[in-house]
Structure 1
Amino acid sequence: MKSKFSKTFRRFLLSYLVILIIPNIAGYITYQTSINAAEKNSIDTSLLLLKQSKDVLEQRMAEVKNFTRQLAINQDITLIMNESVKKDSYNIYGLWKTWRDVSYYDKTNDFLQNYYIYLNNYDVILTPATIYYRPVHYYELNQYSDLTFEEWKKTVIQASHQDTVLPLRSYIRNKTESFVMTYIQSLPLNSFGKPRGTVVILIDESKISSMLMSFSSQYGGWAYITDKDGKPLASAGIDNDQIAQIGLKSAPQEMETRQFVDDTLQITVRSASNGWLYVAGIPKAALMEQATKIQHFTWTVTAVALVIGLLICLLLAYRNSTPINRLVRIVREQIGQDSYAARNDYDFLHGNIAGLISDNRLLETELSRQIPLVRDAFIKRILRGEFHSLHEIRAAAAQSGTEFQGDYGFVGIIRINGYSGMNSEEILNELQAARLLIKQTVLALDATAAITDLDSDKIAMVSSLASEPRELQRMVIEERMMELKAILDADYRISVTISFGSSFNSLSDTSRSFEEARRAMDYAAASGSDGNIIWYQEIWKETTTYYYPLDQEMRLLSALKVGETTEAKRIADQIFVQNFAERGLSAEMAQQLIGEIKGTILKLIDQKAIPDPDESELLKNRTVQMVLSEGIDQVRSELEEIIEQIGDLIVRKKNEKENETVSAIRQAVEARFGDANLSMYQIAESVGRPEKYISQLFKEQTGEHVSDFLEKIRIKHASALLFDSVMTIDEIALQVGYNSSHSFRRAFKRVQGVSPSLYRKSTNE
């Protein structure tokens, strides 16, 4: 057996070598013959083309720079930037007139098609299309993928810039991703302090790359441009990873270079004005265009060599793989595997079973080691509010082995006092030991608490409860924390400050309680209450503005999208309690809050979450007509009815889709049950859904696995053939999709309770 496998391996290796060596020899001969004749002309032409691209781009960037200078001397912009703005007081006409003066610039240069002007005193953004009176509204539609709103506002529109060029980065405009280069100029010019305004010009990569496309379209090569720091600005025929590799191998400082690197002619030109590097690569194959006769000869030799090599490969593969394939098929049937991942059949037969056992043990060991890390990551995620539904939270909790007593509880933060601003290695080691002692003490007092590190001197904990929190539970938690403080002070001389947010009534609401605990901790630091236990309800809260953060809106949208009506109504109820029960909002603030809530519902409807256009229009009209003049209770009741109606429509749509998918799975199985190679992947591909999804859905809807249903269909048809046909059992096995009569007999007896021969005999009798 071993010698046969070794012989097979040698023959496969020989076939690969034959296929690879013959065309390589032919290509090498052609290359040596033609490269010298075509090299000089191609190099000169490519260098000239690259310089022309550099000159054109520098001219266009100069036009962009001139555009910012024109804005800097524009009288309307200068006046509007220097106006003194009172709170909620806008010079509407001045802003409109300024917008009108600058709105036509996007038609003068395709590099200026997407720009905006930020006015610091008004905190507004002017674009060629409209005026955004809040930067957050512009950010919702136009944003860098790697910058949050605060980071964008701090580093882009409020920072001081002098002809700043940001390298290529991902940018999302109206939910469409692209890559842009950014040019930024502060207004007025030479604003070294806090600028009064900022001009930001977003230049799409495709507009720059179009200047380089000739290298890929004409030569089949590539070209790219980087700034003086080596960061990509545009490319054609090459991705950023390849650019980074080329930059590591060579970053020439000369103004012009030309050299062969890995069978590619690489030409570089560096700009004297801004230090940008222009690089183009042309494959050696493109340099041989002038050698027509030699190329014809090369193609002929290469084609003949490939055909001969392919025939040899097919012959050897067929002769040597047929017996191996038969043996592999038998082994698969015996061990019940539909597929395997191995370099070849020999690896499968030699080490599949032993490797499976070994990998299973290693996996169990590794999972045991990773559970604490997974649990810690889960606690951090739930505190940050990264989960979109209760189902997702419970699934992640089960995966990490985290158990909660119920859906209620409090989130608290424990801060070790006396270490503020200290970050030496000795202090950090001391804090690490203190955190460990605190965790052990907390778990000794409450074994169900979920704990994670927040910072070197802070720990967060989630105390879950089985029922809705009442004053008694709060007193119990406070007594427990007092005991914790006493133990830490008496045994370890550790002083701590503890803060708690208000109670949460759903696990998806822990992020809100966590944020309140952080505010309470900040309040303790600011008010000098270190060493105490601070509750969020006991500190002063701002009542002049409403509370409706973005993460709360996202949780409401997520609950509605998946049809969790109860969770959505709970979140809506919490919004009203936080703003109308715990805060004293003015009529204007209350009206703005209702408008924001209506905007959330309309946003969901506009995302086509509701398939029926008539229902969608009715819901939209009903939402628009919801006004505060009807009374808070009436608005609250109307909102709950709208949420319930949306949830019913989404659940109905979800059920219809699931029923259609199950029906499609049944049809696919019934149509292809005779295919012995039918797999879950092929079924999933035919219905256009992932394997795991259709497996779980079919089990939930029908109570049986897809494989069991397939087996029943096959046995059903086999039973019919046994009853009214003269086919042999082996022929029937092949007819209904079994590779061997042995596996067919086992499956038949498992389903029908008797062997195929006894079944045929009994039906004939």
Structure 2
Amino acid sequence: MNRSKQDQSLFFKFMIPYMIVLLIPLLIGLITYRGTVEMIEKEVVNNNMTLLRQSKETLDRRLAEVETVSNQMATDTRVMQFQTIREPFEGANTYRVMETRKGLYDYGLSNHFISGSYLLFKRSGLALSSKLTYTLPDFFNHVLTYPDMDYSAWYSLLLDRHYNKTYLPARQVVLSGEARSMVTYVQSLGYPGFEQGAVVTLIRNEEIVKLLRGLDVSDGGWAYVADDKGQMISYVASRKDQTPERIETLAEEGAYLDPASGMMVTYTTSEANKWTYVVVQSPQVVLGKVHYIKKLTIAIVFAALALGCLIAGLLAYRNSRPLRSLMRTVHERLPAESPRTRDAYRLLHHSFSALLDRNKELHSTLVEQAPLLRASFFERLFKGEFGNESDTDTGFRHLGLRLEGGLYAVGLVRLGGEPTERTTDLLHELSASRLRIKDVFAQLADGTGYAHDMEDDKLALLFIGMHDDEERFRDEIDRRLSSLRRNLKLGVRIVFAVGGIYRTLPEAAHSYEEARQALYIHKWDSRADVIWSGDCPNTALGYYYPADTETRLFHLVRAGEDEEMRKLFDWLYRENFVERQLSIPMLRLLVHDVSGSIVKLLDQVQVAEEEVGFSVKSIVDHTDSPEKAERYFIALSDVLQTICDRINERKKSHNARLSDTIVAMIHAEYGNADFSLTAVAEQVNHSEAYLSQFFKGQIGINFFEYLETVRMEEAHRLLSDSGGLAVREIAARVGYSSSNTFCRAFKRFHGVSTTVYRQAGRCNEYGKA
């Protein structure tokens, strides 16, 4: 049974490489198949994108023609004058009807995209084109009828709303007795709330559909054009009874596979009017070729796999047969306790030689890694990561260090005095100095001390006392440091700081922290070259950051006053880092407190931490030294500066929106005699004084001058109408409660009275006084 299992094992060992070799062409085929699928998908998407872009460009040009035609009609002087006529067939008004019609051109004769353009007037109740004049009811009944609407709904749709370059989706209409599918373009005459009529242009929907017919929408697909509000203007679908669904687009242009429906969506957006052109295709259409290739590939793969497995099995059996025979012979001749191998002696010889070689390699690797492991051990020791003495015993014995003793202390060596700018020459000098100090200290310590690199200009010295007398141990450390200084011949200044004395090795982390604090305090007492933590002045003084200062800081940042904020922050820096000697925990609390204030501030002004590159955890976790605390504290001022910049950007955007809102209110309410700056202030929730100053700064003239300009422009238009209203009625329409007040304002603005202005306008129009 065992021999049979061994034979099977050998067979499979030979079989597996053959199978691996067999899988290589299969993987290549799979990669080729995937590449083919991607290539075909890209080809379909590129074709669709090309057709969509061509349709977009063509339709953009046609729509621009429509808007130009409608704009010419709407801005025609005769059309503008005709808007105020109420009785079109009385007196000279009949002549005006004819003159207005003569000025119209039948664009449908030269533009197959446009079926016709019509002018609809509310006051006169007429519908005009170059060929016809109808009353609005007759126009609805005989010319342009919406089958699903009665006259009142049709009238409300076209004339009771204000349209500005608005396209109504394609729908069935009856145009001069013929049912057609049309897209309706509507441009209102007059102002919002004072619509005088509309220019209605009918666009042949079949012309738009022709642009989309080049896209393959068979098998349940569809294509459509939607305006900038998502309203579907026109579409084409694979079935007549199919109602397309509007697809959410992800960007200006692109293609993606809709996970819900499995349909391929290709889309593009017009830069001219932000209309979206979308084609949605069935996977059968997009991947028809891919499915054929997939079936062919699967068939070839399975056939090749079956044939390959058969050949691999035959080869594995034939090639493993000699080895199986040899293994059976060896196992028959070897003793029972010997390994079941082909040649026990040679196997043992080679195995033992390989084991020795491997042992030498491991020893060599361990020697090479010893400095790194030793550095890692001291880093963990000084950070306090060893919880008990057994952990430290395991570590230093594994590294071959002699750290048993009765007392322990940690000293820090700083080279070059206070930190300065790190030049290349200075770094080389500091590196050489560190090596010299470590060599001399190792000779003086003689196994009772170790040096460890901390930073470019700092070393940590671990002192080990072989007794339990602390005073004696302190004297030994002082003597050792004095000997170290005498034996060193360096070009830079050396400062020593020593922490407290402790009786266990894990407590050396406390001594290290005390030495760091003592080294930090040295910058206030630069005369001393050796300072013990126990001799340092009291550093328990709390930091300065009262609540009223935090409130003032909040106010300055929210107001965007970055210069004043900088001054306040510089003052806080002087109070805490120059005037005070704070301990490392106290500095960490200070940075933590200011960071917390920034977090609260970010929440108040609704700015994300990612926008200003701020992370509380990163700052607090890395504030483990006085230098870093000082550096991070200064960095917090840059975060506040970034917040101020964001707030100032928002204020600029808010000012533009507020200015547009006020201007829109003036144009909408200028006819209201009670309309004033007070009403605007109540609407936008700002004081009148602020709005007056704000409007003057944004527009260039004050609020009342702008309001009077709008009113005078409308009065000018009404007075220019030869058959217009009385001066009293015009005054009421443009927002004056008294005609005398209106006349005085008109003369002050235009330089002539309303009577003279009207008479001059009539003379110019009719050529008579």
How does the TM-score come out when normalised to structure 2?
0.33
Larger Rg: 2
How does the TM-score come out when normalised to structure 1?
0.33
